[in-house]
Amino acid sequence: MRTKTALVTGLVTMTATILSTAPPSAVSHAAAAPASAHLAAGRPDGESGELWLARLLAGSTRGGDAWRHLRVLDRIAVRNGGVRAAGTPGFEASARYAAKVLTAAGYRVHRQQVPYTDYRVDAESATVTAPAARQVRALVMRFSPVTPPGGLDAHLVVPRAAAGDAAGCSAADYDGLPVAGSIVLVRRGSCGYTAQQRVAAGLGARAMLIYLATPSPNNIYRLHAFDPQAFTIPVASVTQAQAEQLARETAQHQVRLRLDLRGHGVAGATTNLFAETRGGDDRTVMAGAHLDSVTEAPGINDNAAAAAALMATALRLAPHQDKVRHKVRFALWGAEELIDVGSNYYVRNLPPAERAKIALYLNFELIAAPNGVRFVLDGDASDQPPGTPPGPAGSQVVEKVFKDYFDHAGLPYESHDLRAVGSDHEPFVAAGIPVGGLNGGVLGVKTAAQAARFGGTAGQLYDPCYHQPCDTIGNLDRRALGENVPAIAWAVGRFALDVSDLPAAGAQEQRP
């Protein structure tokens, strides 16, 4: 863990390096003072060309600006049971706060109501009934089938280990085991839990328990049935630690479990929040992050940190919103954790003419992960395995803007397949709109090479508190926040004045 002294020393060293090289896309925090002296007048003295706004925003937007909003969002979570999920008072309070801040800054702020089907849990319990009674924490999978009222009681079966992490992906993994009428326990495999459930159900299993193997064995993750029609038996997740204990016991004697896993779909509504500049033509630059958490966590790294960074950027841009060449639209999405509900609804309901005006979309996720890596979305897939599809035409331009910024700033980064992390950029990709952005890593494990480049601890999750109750403000890496916030501001400022190297308006509508 870095001490405060080491952090300050590192920032001073970085600032000195940036100033000495004087690159166009890396304005140090030390340069913010002269820039801020000219906020009222517009461009800083001596600035010209298309980068003046990017320089000004990157030089004046700090991690501390985002931190002020994060403190408020963290308090909102605390006051609302540690949750800011869509459809909860915590989310509504978060949206009201953001709307108030952005309206006071002079933006045109509007809400979009988004209908959706939520999943309400009625029961989720797992009890070992033999050989000795005890409770096991279980989280029912959203939209999976349910047990009968009162639950079901059955013996536990664990498939034999298969090559790699594919246990339970083949019927052969259960050869000789009494699967019919059982509850099966599997590690999430390379074939995916939908396929694992299909195999178990085909052999007569009555339910399935699943766990994710991570360096944080006490974590538990609520899973989602992406295709509910493919699931025919109830499914729930348990922690790795609990699963391994059950597996050891099953190897020694018969273990019986009682599962009560029930829930139902309910109609819900959430909010997308937008703030637009007064000025700018019809070529619209969009920058977004989701505002909601999962129902099991306060969601401060995931994803209040990115939402706060956009709010901080918007406030620095506010005095100049009449000077932008292209309209800037900030988006705080609702119900991303329910699989991009808000952003999908927005893109799907845009009239074709309005969709054609969006020059690009920037998306940000988990930008202050405590053990994170700085991932830049790979627009052209040039750093991905052969056959990886690229993003829409123009995405490589967005990627280069971020990489050039970090190269000049002397900050490390890695390219990341833009389809590897599901988030709100996906509907824009599907619509053929150029995309880009940053994320700090989700369920990946930091390698030794990454630890050498970025710091942190090899062999541990990028964010051990991802989707866990510990994702509070105390979970954040303030250095990562301080490095990423100016980069976000730079990209917004750069594209607010210049999208000439992106496809012409409406070009994405011609994509097949």
- Please report the pLDDT score of residue 307 as a whole number: 98
Chosen CATH of 70-107+277-499 out of 3.40.980.10, 3.30.420.40, 3.40.190.10, 3.40.630.10: 3.40.630.10
Burial of 263 (0-12, 13-18, 19+ CB in 10 A): buried
Q: Tell me if 455 sits within 8 A of 446, measured CB to CB.
A: no
Domain locations in the chain as residue ranges? 70-107+277-499, 119-266
Are 57 and 27 within 8 A, CB to CB? no
Spell out the per-residue pLDDT of the chain, length 512, in tens: 323 323 222 322 333 332 232 333 333 322 233 233 333 234 443 445 789 999 999 999 999 999 999 999 999 999 999 999 999 999 999 999 999 999 999 999 999 999 999 999 999 999 999 999 999 999 999 999 999 999 999 999 999 876 567 789 999 999 999 999 999 999 999 899 999 999 999 999 999 999 999 999 999 999 999 999 999 999 999 999 999 999 999 999 999 999 999 999 999 999 999 999 999 999 999 999 999 999 999 999 999 999 999 999 999 999 999 999 999 999 999 999 999 999 999 999 999 999 999 999 999 999 999 999 999 999 999 999 999 999 999 999 999 999 999 999 999 999 999 988 899 999 999 999 999 999 999 889 999 999 999 999 999 999 999 999 999 999 999 999 999 999 999 999 999 999 999 998 766 554 43
Our answer to whether residue 336 is catalytic in this structure is yes
Q: Are 479 and 469 in contact (CB under 8 A)?
A: no
Q: Would you state the pLDDT for residue 442?
A: 87
Identify each DSSP E strand in 334-465 by its residue range: 358-365, 375-378, 414-417, 435-439
Active-site choice (336, 365, 426, 483): 336
Tokens found for residue 54: 């990017």
Do residues 259 and 138 make contact, with C-beta atoms less than 8 angstroms apart?
Answer: yes
Whether the Cβ atoms of residue 131 and residue 255 lie closer than 8 Å to each other: yes
Total-model pTM: 0.89
Minimal CA–CA distance to 392: which of 378, 409, 405?
Answer: 378
What pLDDT, on a 0 to 100 scale, did the predictor assign at position 162? 61
Q: Rounded to whole angstroms, how far apart are CA atoms 428 and 416?
A: 17
Question: Which architecture, in CATH terms, is 119-266?
Answer: 3-Layer(bba) Sandwich (3.50)
